[in-house]
Amino acid sequence: MTDKLIIFDTTLRDGEQSPGASMTRDEKLRIARQLERLRVDVIEAGFPASSNGDFEAVQTIANAIKDSTICGLSRANDRDIARAAEALKGASSARIHTFIATSPLHMEKKLRMTPEQVLEQAIQAVRFARNLIGDIEFSAEDGSRSDPDFLCRVIEAVIAEGATTINVPDTVGYAVPELYGNFIKNLRERVPNSDKAIWSVHCHNDLGMAVANSLAGVKIGGARQVECTINGLGERAGNCSLEEVVMAVKTRRDYYGLDVGIDTRHILAASRMVSQTTGFVVQPNKAVVGANAFAHASGIHQDGVLKARDTYEIMRAEDVGWAANKIVLGKLSGRNAFKQRLQELGVSLESEGEVNAAFARFKELADRKSEIFDEDILALVHSEKAVD
Ligand code: KIV
Ligand code: ZN
């Protein structure tokens, strides 16, 4: 089994399905270029049959991006698949991603099809797609709520038709980590030709477990592709967040033992670009890319970080694109952090007594003001000097 984890980004497809996050062709191209800079393995650029605009966006991205595989989504029918293949013609590496729902609920209520009809349609779709492009991903929509016996039959059949990636989505974010991980493991063990395809996870965040479920799918289930989006953008509560899953696998390489090809230094820029383009604000305490992700406010933590960063930092801010970590001065800060900031501001106080006096006034101010800025410190020190 490969020890590389494939990162499949679907910001431009599933991310765009987030209400209010629709993007123009040029905006999508800009983001695709940033995803290429990030060294994302597969960029799902859109759903070409859904509109002429999306067709053009996928076509433009396929023509422009050379270092990532470009993928187009299609339902499991010839028209959608042909449209996706047409949009992907200019790509140096192209993938068709075709899907059909396999859960009893979706088959009966949404598709109004019998399981046998769904199986037949999945087979036909992959067969048709395989004649157009070599790299075919098949997704069993609502996979996590599907009957495993039926899912095994569908997956075995589509692999036999030439599907090269098998994705088992948790479409409605219903899964829990151990169950989802074991679900994938069980499918992989039961499908006789399972090793002919890469297994993939695609998790939604309705219960806030998209990243945890994806990681369980990798660790327990043996999936080697994760589908994710920048900032976790996506339908309803969103998708698995790229920055979180990538940094989890990198930071805990001791546990996951997998390589990820992402150039993490471009993560923050990607996050900001997606946020500015869609108008979706990133919460300050969001892991990796939130404004507070590398900020230290308490005196004890500040003192620790100033002595050795890894006391309270498990990742380097610089490794994900921040200029540096941040020591936030406020009422919880200690003398050590205050002194360090004075040094950074080029202020040298002559005696420890002067430092103590300035620190006491800083604490007084901090009780009245939630965050102390550099200007406050300079004013505080200079007013002290003027009094002298
Ligand atoms: O959530 C889902 O099931 C999907 C499929 C189209 C892969 O987005
Ligand atoms: Zn999805």
Handedness of CA 190, 193, 196, 200 (dihedral sign): negative
CA within 13 Å, CB half, 193? 16
Q: What secondary structure does DSSP assign to 34-97, as a single string?
A: HHHHHT-SEEEEE-GGG-HHHHHHHHHHHHH--SSEEEEEEESSHHHHHHHHHHTTT-SSEEEE
Distance 124 CA to ligand 1 centre (A): 19
Q: How far apart are alpha carbons 231 and 31 in whole angstroms?
A: 13
Distance 347 CA to ligand 1 centre (A): 57
Distance 192 CA to ligand 1 centre (A): 25
Q: Are 229 and 221 in contact (CB under 8 A)?
A: no
Measure the CA angle with vertex 292, ends 291 and 295; round to 5°: 120
What number does the ligand 1 atom closest to the CA of 73 have?
Answer: 6
| pLDDT score at 371 | 83
As a whole number of Å, the CA-based R_g of the chain is: 25
Among all bound ligands, the one having the nearest atom to the CA of 234 is: 2
The answer on pLDDT for 86 being more than 60 is yes
Q: How far apart are alpha carbons 134 and 76 in whole angstroms?
A: 16
| pLDDT score at 362 | 95
| pLDDT score at 122 | 99
Confidence category of residue 385, pLDDT binned at 50, 70, 90: low
pLDDT in tens, 325-377: 999 999 999 999 999 999 999 998 888 999 999 999 999 999 999 889 999 99
Residues with CB under 6 A from ligand 1: 14, 99, 139, 141, 167, 169, 171, 202, 204
Among all bound ligands, the one having the nearest atom to the CA of 144 is: 1
Q: What is the separation, in whole angstroms, between the first and last Cα of the chain?
A: 72
What number does the ligand 1 atom closest to the CA of 14 have?
Answer: 8
Looking at ligand 1, which residue's alpha carbon is closest to its atom 1? Answer: 171
Looking at ligand 1, which residue's alpha carbon is closest to its atom 7? Answer: 139
Distance 309 CA to ligand 2 centre (A): 38
Q: How far apart are alpha carbons 105 and 76 in whole angstroms?
A: 18
Among all bound ligands, the one having the nearest atom to the CA of 166 is: 1
Q: How far apart are alpha carbons 27 and 278 in whole angstroms?
A: 9
| pLDDT score at 230 | 98
| pLDDT score at 383 | 73
Per cent of the chain over pLDDT 70 is: 98
**What SS3 state is found at 193?**
coil
Distance 204 CA to ligand 1 centre (A): 9
Q: Which of 12, 14, 239 to mutate to test the pocket of ligand 1 (most atoms within 8 A of CB)?
A: 14
Note the Cα 226 to chain centre separation in Å.
9
Q: How far apart are alpha carbons 301 and 330 in whole angstroms?
A: 13
| pLDDT score at 388 | 47
| pTM recorded for the entire structure | 0.95
Give the pLDDT mean for 92-98. 98
Give the pLDDT mean for 148-162. 98
Distance 338 CA to ligand 2 centre (A): 47
Among all bound ligands, the one having the nearest atom to the CA of 139 is: 1
Note the Cα 151 to chain centre separation in Å.
27
Looking at ligand 1, which residue's alpha carbon is closest to its atom 8? Answer: 14
Distance 113 CA to ligand 2 centre (A): 21
| pLDDT score at 384 | 57
Q: How far apart are alpha carbons 104 and 107 in whole angstroms?
A: 5
Q: Which of 42, 171, 201, 229 to mutate to test the pocket of ligand 1 (most atoms within 8 A of CB)?
A: 171
The helix or strand, by DSSP H or E, that contains position 151, with its residue range, turns out to be: helix 148-160
Look at residues 16, 82, 15 and name the one whose alpha carbon lies nearest to residue 48: 82
The answer on pLDDT for 38 being more than 70 is yes
pLDDT in tens, 42-81: 999 999 999 999 999 999 999 999 999 999 999 999 999 9
Which residue, chain included where needed, has tokens 């200019």?
90
Distance 77 CA to ligand 1 centre (A): 16
Q: How far apart are alpha carbons 120 and 9 in whole angstroms?
A: 29
The answer on pLDDT for 271 being more than 80 is yes
Q: How far apart are alpha carbons 170 and 332 in whole angstroms?
A: 42
Q: Which residues of 177-206 are buried (b: 16+ CB within 10 A; e: fewer)?
A: beebbebbbebbeebeebeebbbbbbbbbb
Q: Are 215 and 176 in contact (CB under 8 A)?
A: no
Look at residues 118, 117, 84 and name the one whose alpha carbon lies nearest to residue 101: 118
Q: How far apart are alpha carbons 376 and 366 in whole angstroms?
A: 10
Across the chain, mean pLDDT equals 96
What number does the ligand 1 atom closest to the CA of 227 have?
Answer: 7
Confidence category of residue 2, pLDDT binned at 50, 70, 90: low
The helix or strand, by DSSP H or E, that contains position 137, with its residue range, turns out to be: strand 136-141
pLDDT in tens, 236-267: 999 999 999 999 999 999 999 999 999 999 99
Beta bridge partners of 226: 7, 201
Among all bound ligands, the one having the nearest atom to the CA of 98 is: 1
CA within 13 Å, CB half, 117? 10
pLDDT in tens, 204-233: 999 999 999 999 999 999 999 999 999 999
**What SS3 state is found at 326?**
strand
Distance 261 CA to ligand 1 centre (A): 24
Measure the CA angle with vertex 241, ends 94 and 311; round to 5°: 130
Give the pLDDT mean for 136-140. 99
Beta bridge partners of 259: 4
| pLDDT score at 370 | 84
CA within 13 Å, CB half, 191? 26
